[in-house]
Chain A
């Protein structure tokens, strides 16, 4: 059995248990990257539907049983991912898979009860990775609330570098400015690495002229990013208070983070018992028992004056409606969580402000892992983000000591089109790369590109 059953060696053999929203996103992404995927789910029609939609093999049954796992070919698999709705089942699936062979496993565990000891649990059980979409999306929401005037904040290089996305408002001084002028007149420490203009993604060059209405992403050191935003007239203070609708797991995680940062939190939750639970878990938060989709309750609780508003109900339609309502009735910064992936073009066109897709966050984490694993050498992908609704990627690579790119000035490298080296982190210092700069071993480099499937820093060469 040592000989791999797949005839082409390019993809990994991956088993995905559970075909919920996260599962489907994963299948979509991983099959695009050319892996051999087998999916397991209890629901026959779901399996049938997905295997018609994607180039994957389906097995129907309980993914935690040995016989079903063998049917799915666990003996020849390289990676086992359990993302069913139940934490316990996911852990059991992985444990069973590891009893068959020494296999890399990833489990989704999202209950707050376990999340405290997730790391310990992971080490004890020998899993490669535990993912918690609710926690991750809460973190992303929190990052935005710390800097509420922007749309998205991603972090690189152990949080030293930020990639900040924002929309250029009418009459802003960036309107009509080329990137070269921007660097001369405002700040030379930031780099514009991507522009979304009317749905088209540009990786801009120096002559690129910015317009009002563009959504642009800049990369900079944490401090320089804030200085830059301040200079162009953005408020850089974190919000003072937040109103969260729905008291689910993400609401709990978000509230926890915000309270730690000194932000006042108000949660509106319908279920009495859950309210009591939340109140004992989060003694500093204000818990309101009521229907968060009721206009009167929202007004009574002061939606007009609140600085930020985060609808986190389990139903996307409600979240979107709440967001629209909030934008109509208040100046609050709004973050919308979208679970389902259908009708994305509609959602994008609604101008909802900041959007969070928990299933993307999860699949980003897993794909980063898978890409790194595909590389036979020790991984050199540090972080990976999909930016601009998945049409571009920002990847952070670590430069190895035997990397052929070392020591050559960047301007001498022949790079692919539509690609940008956004920043280099060397020890504590962060460089915005210029043509004369050279890469050194141990650097970490953030690359922004519309190409997909990069697994190594060498992939940037044309």
Chain B
């Protein structure tokens, strides 16, 4: 285990967090709030700590997948632990565990909140909440890969551990360039939405925060009622951008470089849109009597479907009051999630598609026991390793899911609440149903349940294995052994 590189990269992560905290700081200064002081203080601590940790260069730049996973898991935990400090210190969130829940929910782009009301929060706290979505959406380590010079192919192991999807592909040969392209697309789309929202009359800062929330497919609202009180135009803009941020970014890359054919024939993106349209159609039919005009019905169905499948978690209507069919469809969409290689969470369309193809193949083998068929995805045969990893992923997903439900069931809330609370956190969505519905919040859970949900959010964002590997005793043995050696 190369523990010096782990220390070094963690140091870089903290430094960057310190730098990023200057944004809420600036907002606080501009609007004359004193909570900016706490952000400035935490930022200084982060940068100092980061500089200390990166003072000594790592002994070797080479690391493998296990280090990549450990770095990823640790850096996300560290980010959250430090990111929660200012919100707690300034007193706007009274307990540290709540602040931590809020920050993890932010970085993992979940958007589940423990705050009964967000409007009383100061502008800089609110900006930080939404900004964490944006940071977590594309990933901090991807950001580091884009700006920090790191030689060697080892850095691919970081990207692998952090990026969602069954298999990570590069856009261009170099990790650094790939990361830069991804961030360029991300920033461009965010800016575009910001401008469109401002055209719709949303104030400067609110538009920025909403864009952050959409871009990271996060879902922290800046109003108590999420996006319900915004105009239809703004809601449509948010719908379009939510769905756009759920698309595999490779498609945008192909569009930018005018590989139209490749962009429009991406199987995953096609399924993604088919699922969205089907879900919208069913819900439209189901809730036709709830709203006066067809336009309104369509808008609300689209908004909720887009918000849930991309795992954003904004709401334009309280879908908790919708009929059962619609609610069920929405819960199913929670599990499907967005495309691989997007900022969204969930199981991912590509995994679901490949799993379905495996199922069909298996059925087929009952009819023709000797038939040989290779599963194809994106016009390429799916390698056995990918299938195996996918099956293991699904099993672990449901294991984590089931054990989380058991763990939070001790509090004796109803099954709908528990089930959707875990579904909404592990898939990084935000709102669930019943007591955790779109107009409710997570504050009533005990500290223990909150810790379980915090773990679920991190595990969901990092696609389970980087978090699960921390439970493997070998990792700790190696880490401990190494540090002992360094001391002596």
Binding site for B on A (CB under 8 A): 1, 5-8, 11, 13, 31-32, 36-38, 44-45, 48, 50-57
Contacts and interface: CB of A to CB of B under 8 A. Distances in A.
Interface stretch (B25-33, B83-91, B168-176, B271-279): B168-176
Interface stretch (B107-115, B152-160, B351-359, B477-485): B152-160
Contacts of B174: 6, 8, 11, 36, 55
Given A44-B383, A52-B65, A57 B258 contact: no
Contacts of B180: 7
A39 B172 CA distance: 12
A55 B172 contact: no
B257 A5 contact: yes
B177 A36 contact: yes
- Listed residue (A1, A36, A37, A52) with the most chain B CB atoms within 10 angstroms of its CB: A52
Contacts of A7: 172, 177, 180-181
B177 A6 contact: yes
A53 B65 CA distance: 10
25 contacts: A1-B257, A1-B258, A6-B177, A7-B172, A7-B177, A8-B176, A31-B153, A32-B151, A36-B172, A36-B177, A37-B173, A45-B385, A51-B170, A52-B65, A53-B153, A54-B152, A54-B153, A55-B152, A55-B155, A55-B156, A55-B174, A56-B153, A56-B173, A57-B170, A57-B172
A328 to B, nearest CB: 37
Nearest to A32: B151
Contacts of B176: 8, 55
Contacts of A37: 173
A45 B181 CA distance: 27
Given A5-B257, A8-B177, A36-B177, A52 B172 contact: no
**Nearest 10 interchain pairs by C-beta:** A54-B153, A36-B173, A57-B173, A55-B153, A57-B170, A7-B177, A53-B153, A37-B173, A38-B173, A56-B173
B175 A55 contact: yes
Contacts of A8: 174, 176-177
A54 B175 CA distance: 10
Contacts of A5: 172, 257
Contacts of B258: 1
Interface of B: 64-65, 151-153, 155-157, 169-170, 172-177, 180-181, 257-258, 383, 385
Contact of A55 (B65, B173, B181): B173
Contacts of B64: 52
A362 B171 CA distance: 29
Contacts of A31: 153
Contact of B153 (A1, A38, A44, A51): A51
Nearest to A8: B177
B30 to A, nearest CB: 33
B157 to A, nearest CB: 7
A39 to B, nearest CB: 9
Nearest to A15: B173
Contacts of A51: 153, 156, 170
Given A5-B172, A36-B172, A57-B172, A52 B177 contact: no
B262 to A, nearest CB: 9
A5 B258 CA distance: 11
Contacts of A13: 173
Contacts of A48: 385
B100 to A, nearest CB: 34
Nearest to B256: A5
Q: Name, among B156, B157, B258, the residue most crowded by chain A CB atoms within 10 Å (CB to CB).
A: B156
A291 B333 CA distance: 68
Contact of A52 (B156, B181, B383, B385): B156
B227 to A, nearest CB: 35
A37 B176 CA distance: 13
Nearest to B65: A52
B172 A6 contact: yes
A45 B388 CA distance: 14
A55 B170 CA distance: 10
Contacts of A57: 169-170, 172-173
Given A51-B153, A55-B153, 5 more contacts: A7-B177, A48-B385, A51-B170, A55-B156, A57-B173
Contacts of A45: 385
A48 to B, nearest CB: 8
Contacts of B385: 45, 48
Contacts of B170: 51, 57
Contacts of B152: 54-55
A54 B385 CA distance: 20
A267 B483 CA distance: 56
A369 B379 CA distance: 37
A460 B20 CA distance: 41
B145 to A, nearest CB: 10
Contacts of A50: 153
